[in-house]
């Protein structure tokens, strides 16, 4: 009967440091998987959720506009003797701008339903980080803040000059600047090859016509 050496029966045990490393890797992998699942859930937003969030957003900015106009109107009533025609014109114009902005947001967030009442399209998400809705919301916030501040001093109406300046900056950046300073791009290799072929064909035709 053969006997094997005792060393073969000994199973090497991992050191404590290796156990710590292995456990740390397992925890980090599980955390990363959980984070990926959460981020995947957050990235996909259902149409019903978009409708609910849009309704809350519209309600918030509608209340903001009504609140700022009410505060300014209250100050005008209390201090009616010092209220001028310019004050009334400015509050009318700013209120009209708020109304138009709100109506445009309502148009963007309009949902579509089927004949059976099933939701087909939740409309444009008004809470997107980039988009025209962000600029509209910023305009409503700026106008509302200006109306409240203008209750204390007429000079705060000058803050509204930021809006046309911002519009001109966006127009210049997206349309005017590329149109004025556009540079003709160099022709690509494919375009040059096509031009050479056309030139050769034209020369051949001319030679045939001469003969």
The confidence score (pLDDT) of residue 204 equals 76
Question: What integer is the mean pLDDT of 68-96?
Answer: 93
Same domain, 30 and 52: no
Does 54 share its domain with 37?
no
Do 156 and 121 share a domain, yes or no?
Answer: yes
pTM of the entire structure? 0.62
65 domain-assigned: yes
For 195, residues 6+ apart whose C-beta sits below 8 A from its C-beta are 187
Residue range 102-127: mean pLDDT, rounded: 90
**Strand locations in the chain, DSSP E?**
112-113, 119-121
Residues 122 and 149 reside in one and the same domain: yes
Residues of the domain holding 18:
14-41
Based on the fold, state whether residues 144 and 157 are members of the same structural domain.
yes
Is the residue at 207 inside a domain?
Answer: no
152 shares a domain with 64: yes
- Spatial CA neighbour of 102 closest among 71, 149, 50, 63: 63
Say if 208 falls within a structural domain: no
On whether both 34 and 59 belong to a single domain, the answer is no
Q: Are residues 71 and 131 in the same domain?
A: yes
The confidence score (pLDDT) of residue 179 equals 80
Residues 79 and 148 occupy one common structural domain = yes
Q: What percent of the chain has pLDDT over 90?
A: 41
> pLDDT per residue over 151-161, tens digit each?
999 999 999 99
| CB-based contact 84:97 (threshold 8 Å) | no
What does the alpha-carbon distance between residue 58 and residue 110 come to, in Å, rounded to a whole number? 11
Q: Is 109 inside a domain boundary? A: yes
Whether 80 and 169 share a structural domain: yes
Q: Are residues 37 and 59 in the same domain?
A: no
Give residue-wise pLDDT tens across range 28-57. Answer: 444 444 444 444 444 446 888 999 999 999
Supply the pLDDT for residue 83. Answer: 87
Give me the number of domains the chain comprises.
2
Buried b / exposed e over 15-31, threshold 16 CB at 10 Å, is eeeeeeeeeeeeeeeee
């Amino acid at each position: 009967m053969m006997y094997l050496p005792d060393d073969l029966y000994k199973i090497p045990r991992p050191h404590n440091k290796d156990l710590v490393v292995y456990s740390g890797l397992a925890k980090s992998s599980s955390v990363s998987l959980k984070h990926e699942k959460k981020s995947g859930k957050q990235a996909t937003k259902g149409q019903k959720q978009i409708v609910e969030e849009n309704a809350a957003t519209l309600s918030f900015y509608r209340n903001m506009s009504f609140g700022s106009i009410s505060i300014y109107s209250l100050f005008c009533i209390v201090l009616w003797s010092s209220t001028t025609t310019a004050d009334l014109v400015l509050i009318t114009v700013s209120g009209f701008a708020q109304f138009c902005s709100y109506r445009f947001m309502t148009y963007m967030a309009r949902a579509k339903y089927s004949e059976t009442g099933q939701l087909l399209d939740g409309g444009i998400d008004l809470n997107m980080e980039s988009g025209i809705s962000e600029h509209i919301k910023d305009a409503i916030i700026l106008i509302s803040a200006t109306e409240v501040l203008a209750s204390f001093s007429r000079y705060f109406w000058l803050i509204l000059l930021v809006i046309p300046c911002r519009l001109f900056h966006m127009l210049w950046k997206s349309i005017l600047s590329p149109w004025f300073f556009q540079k003709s791009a160099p022709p690509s290799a494919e375009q040059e090859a096509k031009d050479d072929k056309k030139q050769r064909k034209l020369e051949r035709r001319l030679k045939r016509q001469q003969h």
